[in-house]
Structure 1
């Protein structure tokens, strides 16, 4: 049987919720069992939710469309909620059935704990935004992780530049649409690296302003949000004064209110 034929047979065995889980894993790269519960099993008491998650993950693993990494979040006492889950090659193949062109499959491999922690922190922001949207307080219009959130553009001197945020978020709050690039700072990057990244954001902003003047389009923009330690804040870095309002800084625990408040000072591109 061909690879596509086997993928089609696998898809016939998957529910709508199964497919939604695979799409989230494709977009976010990694999710924990707890994050999957919050995303796809919000109803019922915690015991029932946990049982459904365990059964679903076992079935998807047996079908070969997901892989479970050896590292747990929260230790062995976390149970199935602590498992770190990724999309397998067959999972990518199932999602690729709807694509007219071959899609690039990112192979899930055991990675360093620091990398996994960063990926899961970005995923946790997405989970929080989905839960916030369920309350009716906001509408999650778009959430793109890496590399879909990246922006390729020509600098003011014509050189090719790629802006590489960790995520791009577009929210509907009341009558407003709020857009932000996200940088999830885990205090692992050096200050010179942060300075260089801030400079790319400023260049992107300046190029966007110039594009508007000439009637061309640079794509989606927004404010740039980074949750750093005090010494890593943009106001402590060599950022031009006219661009400082682009950056909104908060702790990870304060990301949701920072992203959804209408009074933020982020500059629209």
Structure 2
């Protein structure tokens, strides 16, 4: 059994690609404030949320949904996904206007921290969803998870960098999606990407990938679990996570539900970490090694969109 198999041509399958949304709002863009305070109660007034929901455009809702899914994004990432322009300058101006408006109405939060320092300008600003924005979004789309919005601005920079790396992978795959040779069919972040299985003593064991994705590559579909490793965890922690994947693979649960077991990609920041993880994987049995692949984050889109026709997930005999 392989993790790649034929599926109907894209013309016969509903597309997951989103429209760009409605026309951008024009007007003077004010200098942004450092932050927009969040309501710590997590329970915005329903009337305020309903008022906000009535004034959201299609593009506004797409931006809020992206922030609900990825929790933290840069202004540049949001612009790449949701704001178009005839020139880069026009797109940047529209992006600033849209994000400023959503911050002013309390739908999104702007963090004080910038990626790339002050010279990065608005591209490096960080944004997160507020409880008010989540509530307003769910009035239009009840399927959005009704989880409590964490105060992302209080989290450690390392945790934020991890979230941004996952988001950047999604942005790169969306840009690689040409609707024919490469199609991003599904991209799930935590907790949607998580799995649970039964251990040998009947206990429930969680498996928590950073992401799960499905790519259409020509007439084939390729599925992957993704672990973004920023070299902040010990190799012992990585080894335990690999063994958890092997335990899940051996149960056959994923194969029974979906017909295949996704390849597990470890994406790392530099060559030194890549070599260490390759050495770790080489310590597993040959049939177990086939479940894992290691690559660098800078090359992630190219690696994940390359068909791996020789990958097998046959269970051990």
Unaligned runs of 5+ in 2: 1-43
Structure-2 change in CA distance of 1:64 and 1:233 (3 Å)? same
Pairing of 1:1-269 with structure 2 (within 5 A): 3-97=45-139, 98-99=141-142, 103-110=146-153, 111-134=155-178, 136-208=180-252, 217=257, 221-228=261-268, 229=273, 230-233=275-278, 235-236=280-281, 238-263=283-308, 265-268=310-313
Secondary structure at 2:177 match in 1 = helix
Q: Encode CA deviations 1:9-60: one digit per residue, 9 max, x unaligned.
A: 1011111011000000010111000111111124421110110111011100
CA RMSD of aligned residues (A): 2.3
Q: C-alpha separation between the residues in 2 aligned to 1:266 and 1:137?
A: 20
Number of residue pairs matched by the alignment: 264
The structure in which a higher percent of residues are helix is: 1
Secondary structure at 2:241 match in 1 = helix
Structure 1 residue 128: deviation in Å?
A: 0.5
Structure 1 residue 217: deviation in Å?
A: 3.2
Structure-2 change in CA distance of 1:43 and 1:126 (3 Å)? same
Structure-2 change in CA distance of 1:88 and 1:219 (3 Å)? farther
Structure ranking higher on relative contact order (CA contacts 8 Å, 6+ apart): 2
User: Would you say the 8 A contact 1:235–1:244 is kept in 2?
Assistant: no
TM-score, scaled to structure 1: 0.90
Structure-2 change in CA distance of 1:265 and 1:100 (3 Å)? closer
Q: C-alpha separation between the residues in 2 aligned to 1:165 and 1:101?
A: 20
User: Would you say the 8 A contact 2:281–2:292 is kept in 1?
Assistant: no
Q: C-alpha separation between the residues in 2 aligned to 1:100 and 1:181?
A: 23
Unaligned runs of 5+ in 1: none
Which piece of structure 1 moves more, 219-228 or 27-36? 219-228
Q: C-alpha separation between the residues in 2 aligned to 1:56 and 1:258?
A: 34
Structure 1 residue 266: deviation in Å?
A: 4.2
Q: C-alpha separation between the residues in 2 aligned to 1:220 and 1:58?
A: 44
Q: Encode CA deviations 1:247-269: one digit per residue, 9 max, x unaligned.
A: 11111111111111113654458
Structure-2 change in CA distance of 1:238 and 1:201 (3 Å)? same
Q: C-alpha separation between the residues in 2 aligned to 1:266 and 1:101?
A: 34
TM-score, scaled to structure 2: 0.77
Q: C-alpha separation between the residues in 2 aligned to 1:265 and 1:4?
A: 54
Structure-2 change in CA distance of 1:42 and 1:250 (3 Å)? farther
